[in-house]
Amino acid sequence: MSDPSPGIEVRDYRLAGARAAGPFTPVLVGVVGSGNLEILVEPIESALCEVHVETSARGFGAIWDAVVSDFHRRHPLSGLRVSVHDMGATPAVVSLRLDQAIAELS
């Protein structure tokens, strides 16, 4: 992967899942735009849930930690990679988009 754009903060999480997501087609929800975000969920062969965040809102690491932890507590899945491209969405919007992505898994 290439280096992120200047001004973009990157956060990566590797979380042990309690149950496999199973096979699914990649899912894309949201749109990258001011105050919003895009989430891509892809299947991977792993006992982990990998979450990769690229955000224009720098300095909110503790908030991202809490949002990702809450997401994984509600959806303790393994075998998926979640890529988040954020343009300043609020934590509530991030949680909504994460839930939408999981609801789309077939």
Pairing between β-strand 37-43 and β-strand 27-30 as defined by DSSP bridges: antiparallel
Question: Structural domain of residue 44, as residue ranges?
Answer: 9-104
CATH of the domain at 52: 3.30.230
Contact predicate 95/53, CB 8 Å: no
pLDDT at position 33 = 81
Q: Is residue 2 part of a domain?
A: no
> Which pLDDT tens digits describe the chain residue by residue (106 residues)?
455 567 899 999 999 999 999 999 999 999 988 889 999 999 999 999 999 999 999 999 999 999 999 999 999 999 999 999 999 999 999 999 999 999 999 7
Q: Is residue 23 part of a domain?
A: yes
